[in-house]
Every structure is written in structure tokens, then in C-alpha cells.
Amino acid sequence: MKLLVVLCGLLALSASHVIPAGPSDEAIPTIPGDNSHYVEGESRYVWMPDAEGNPVLVDLDEPVDESVLDSRNGANNQYWLFTRRNPNNAQIIRHNEADTITSSNYQRNRPLKVIVHGWNNNGNTAMNPTITSAFLAVQDCNVIVVDWRALANSAYNTAANGVPNVGEHLGKFLTWLINTGGGNWNQVHLVGFSLGAHVVGNAGREAGNRPARITGLDPAGPRWGSNSNALNGNNGQYVEAIHTDGHLLGIFNPVGDADFYPNGGKNPQPGCLISTCSHGRSTDLFASSVRNPNRFVGRQCNNIWDAELGNCNGGTLVMGNSNIGKRGRGLFGLRTGSSWPF
């Protein structure tokens, strides 16, 4: 039934959107989640997952809605605090309202983990409780889930154009939080998925590149390949990325100090049939790595082509985990299983 609804919606989309005639015409893909047609920098249409992982067809040529950017910018970010004292019920910390810190379970002497979702998601999307519970299972820490749904749930191009502003507001919030409630930048770990990976990159830049660690989970690829606002290795003291849908929904080229390419870093990941599944696999691999900190051992690759082919036999570096003092540099390949804990 769900497939039927998606196909009916696709037919409605086809009928309501007129595609200009000319040599650049591109057929609208009709198989939900199948991005085998997609060519970076050329294709107009791509399937992306919604909050439940269902494929949604995105038009990458859709104009940016400036009115949405003006009204749903990073000032609308919500910051949800979870600790071992409240692992399931969020406490809301509001920027520039110090009493929301003092009345919460925030503790200045604990490490701070920050999680940022991607497009068409929100703070309740499965990746957030999955990663939050993993962090709290292995460490007594402050976990802040950033809900930026006000902008994230708009059209993809509009949300993508608002990423720098969302990240800027997050960076300002974290600076205020540490200055007001206490904390240490050497204990701050930012984690972002898809567009959220670029959000945390911009947050790190706004915070003077002080976060001890930034982890990008399959950083969003469409329209980000040459974007100066994309996540990069200068955004924190140590920046790593886990690539699982490279060349499609994720950037394939290295973006951090260390870049990991499980199963070649692209679709299909083991157990996945479609690109949208492979894209989201990065969040589950990371959550598993937090609970099992030495489970995923990468071997260094000579170059990006060896990473894609999995021909990597150099030195080792563990992928993921929550070790705030982790450091490394290079490209790393590894193999995983097809189901939890992978």
C-alpha cells in the first residue's frame, strides 16, 4: 500500500511539474529509492529518505524559497538535553536563558555530545535516540539533540541553503552554553548526519574550530561537492567522516582528517537494496561503534580508488566510537556485516 501511495504521488508530481523542453531533459525516475540514474553535478532528480526512511523524490533544480529561509532560520533551532538522569525525556535549553541551564541536569564537568539530524528529519527521528542511548550507555555525559525541523522539513534546496545559518546559531549557542553553564571545548564532540554533517562543520567554524572532535555521518552530497560551506578538516581539532552512500546521497571525496569507507563507502551497503538505506546506514554504524568502541577497524588506503575497491592494507584506525581524544589522518577501508551490530 505504501508503495502504491508513493507511485500515485509520483504521478501527481509528474503532472504538476512541467519540465522544460530541450537537450537537458531528464526522465523522472519511477522506482522509489533507486538512484542508479544519478550523476553528481548533472542529474536533476534524486530519491532521498524522509524521517521514516521512505524514499522521497527531490528536484535539485527547485528554486530556493527565500521567505522560508528568512522565517525558519537557525534562530528556530531547539536544543534538547538528555543525561543519565533523564535518558528518554528531553529538557529544553533555550539560548540566552540561563535559568534553563541551571534548572536542567546539565553538568559542566561532563563531556558534551551534540547530535544533528539531516533533511526531512527532526529531533525524534530514530538516529537521535539510537545515538543518544549509545552515548549514555558508555559514558556519563551531556547529550544535546539539535532539532532544526523548522527549516529541515522545507524543500531540499531551501534547507541546504540554510545550513550555514543553522550551524552559525548552533556554534553561538554552544559558546554561550559553555561560557554560562561551564564546560570545556576539549570535551565537546559534534555528530551530524547528511545535511547535519555540514551543520556541525559550520558550528565548529563559528566556535573558532574549538570542538575537540567532529564526526560527519555520510555528509550530504547533492549540491555540496564544491560548496565552501561543506564540512572540512579545519572545523574542529579532529574531524572524521564515515562515507556509506558516496557518489549518490553522500559526498565520496575525503572531507576530514580521517575518512572511513566501510564496504567501499557507497551503495549498496550490506543488507541494503537502495541508496536511501545505504545513506542512513552511517548512523547505525556509528551508534554500534559507540557501544562497541573497537569493533570497526579500518586499514589505511593508498588513495581514494583503493578505498572504493576496498584494497586497503596499511596502518589501522578504529572507525567511529566516542573517544574524545581520538586522532588520526588518512583514508581507511573496512568491511562490516549486514545487520546490527554490523
Which residues participate in catalysis according to the annotation? 194, 218, 279
The CA-CA-CA angle for residues 174, 176, 180, to 5°, reads: 120
- Which amino acid does the sequence have at 5? V
Q: Which of 262, 266, 211, 277 is nearest to 239 (CA)?
A: 211
| Residue whose entry in the numeric block shows the C-alpha cell 541536569 | 105
Question: Exposed, middle or buried by CB within 10 Å (0-12, 13-18, 19+), for 55?
Answer: buried
3 state SS for the chain: CHHHHHHHHHHHHHHHCCCCCCCCCCCCCCCCCCCCCCCCCCCCEEEEECCCCCEEEEECCCCCCHHHHHHCCHHHCEEEEEECCEEEEEEEECCCCCHHHHCCCCCCCCCEEEEECCCCCCCCCCHHHHHHHHHHHHCCCEEEEEECHHHHCCCHHHHHHHHHHHHHHHHHHHHHHHHHHCCCHHHEEEEEECHHHHHHHHHHHHCCCCCCEEEEECCECCCCCCCCCCCCCCCCCCEEEECCCECCCECCCCCCCEEEEEHHHCCCCCCCCCHHHHHHHHHHHHHHHHHCCCCCEEEECCCHHHHHHCCCCCCEEECCCCCCCCCCCEEEEECCCCCCCC
